[in-house]
Structure 1
Amino acid sequence: MHEPTSQGLPTVGRDGPRWFAVTAAEARRALAHFVEHRPAHFGPHEDAPLAGDWAMAHSLLSVPLNLGLLHPLDVVGEAEAAYRSGDVPIASAEGFVRQVLGWRGYVWQLYWRFGRAYRHRNALRTPRCPTGGASSTPTRSPRPACATRWPASATAAGPTTSRG
């Protein structure tokens, strides 16, 4: 069964609600939402999970960046503008810019250099997330960071929700 999305694109099954932006309009809303609500916490808390806020300070922009819906320089420009306007501390803006341009670019280059087999390497022999399967990645994070399902409070991420 194919149902159209709110953008008129065919999908298999019912479209939405979604947790991550997968259209250009959703990506722009997700970026605006991040810049308005999350960057002040990004620096000091970027990797901290909270039971009541599954996304905490994470931008939730990896999916639209990886899909090419957002350009990294545009995303960084928004973070810089928020810093220059006084809305975001320098540590938070710098941390976000470093993640987008530095870490994201570094990992992208690793995948190009070492190919598809790279995702299965585990030189430090760290435990895998308990979900198993081909999509699991090595982690040194505490077990709760590898939750097998989203917390009950994790309804669709506000700005990316589509009710096709």
Structure 2
Amino acid sequence: MNIEKNLLIDRVDAIEPWVSIQCSSQVPEHAPVFDGHFPGYPILPGVLMVETMAQAGGFLYMLSSDFAKMAFLINIKQAKFNGFVMPGDRLQADVRIVHRAESYLVCEGTLRQAEVVARAQWMLRLMPFDNDVLRQAVQRTVLGCHERLR
């Protein structure tokens, strides 16, 4: 997990194209976000927990579609937090597609350590890549995480 570069997925552990994905991440021991959230009691903000699941959903779409479009988080339908995530924790995101249309996906998922710490349902908007630089950068990132599966 590289919070500063907004890459919250380290590895794709399993994928069933167009159905589900399982990804893992190692929360860094030190990151600027922990300086203020909270001094003396660092925890990963809930919004980053949801973003981790949403990124896994985007990875699922892009790997399934051969990078036909880019996936953008546009709506969080619901999110519930059952626990805290601390620096150094190992996380697993389990995500599945609930509904698929040409221009959007509805996904739901859980984020867990030994137990589920968060669950959410969200919508991703699917849009053409704005330029080749963006497309190539996203492909390198996602495929790099996916290669770790093999």
Same fold (TM over 0.5): no
Larger radius of gyration: 1
TM-score band w.r.t. shorter chain: under 0.3
Q: Which has the higher contact order (CA 8 A, sep 6+)?
A: 1
TM-score (norm 1): 0.26
| Structure number having the greater strand percentage | 2
| Structure number having the greater helix percentage | 1
TM-score (norm 2): 0.28
